[in-house]
Amino acid sequence: MFRTLMIVGAIAGVAHAASASAAELTVKMRNQGAEGPMVFEPSSAKLKPGDTIRFVPTDAGHNVETIPGLAPAGVPPVKGVMGKEVVVKVAKPGVYGFKCLPHWGMGMVFVAKVGDAKLDPAASSAVLASAPPMTKRRLTAAFNAIR
């Protein structure tokens, strides 16, 4: 019992220290992950304004780009080169969606909520309406994960 409390305390301490300054999240671009083939791992995250996301091409043949309609107003779209690392600073609160262009149809997507932003129902519905079935399933899961 005492040991368990000590571990919980240590984890809480780490989380508190991380919140004091901007953090960097590493997202792997993988051919095969826990959620299936062609994935960003993790596929969703809750971040703070000023944090960065480092997309690492763990496997070849992937890129990162903004999903149209899933970025805060005024934020320029990201368009990464195939097989290259991309670092995105998320300064503005809101919901950011990224895809791998070749694997959009297989649902290779990543969604981040930055700050206390709410997912815009109109924007998310529009993206889901035009998404292929696998993409719709994974996007819905990612949207649910950031609520």
* Interface with Cu ion (CB under 5 A): 62, 100, 103, 108
The nearest distance, CB 21 to Cu ion, in angstroms, is: 31
CB nearer to Cu ion: give 13 or 36: 36
Radius of gyration in angstroms for the set of CA atoms belonging to the chain, rounded to a whole number? 16
Q: Between 103 and 138, whose beta carbon lies closer to Cu ion? A: 103
Instruction: Give the side-chain half-sphere CA count within 13 A for 52.
Output: 10
User: Which CB, 80 or 94, lies closer to Cu ion?
Assistant: 80
User: What's the CA gap between 47 and 136, in Å, rounded?
Assistant: 23
Phi, psi (5° rounding) for residue 12?
A: -60, -40
Residue number, nearest CB to Cu ion: 100
Please report how close the Cβ of residue 116 comes to Cu ion at its closest, in angstroms: 31
Distance between CA atoms of 116 and 127, rounded to whole angstroms? 21
Shortest distance, position 108 Cβ to Cu ion, whole Å: 4
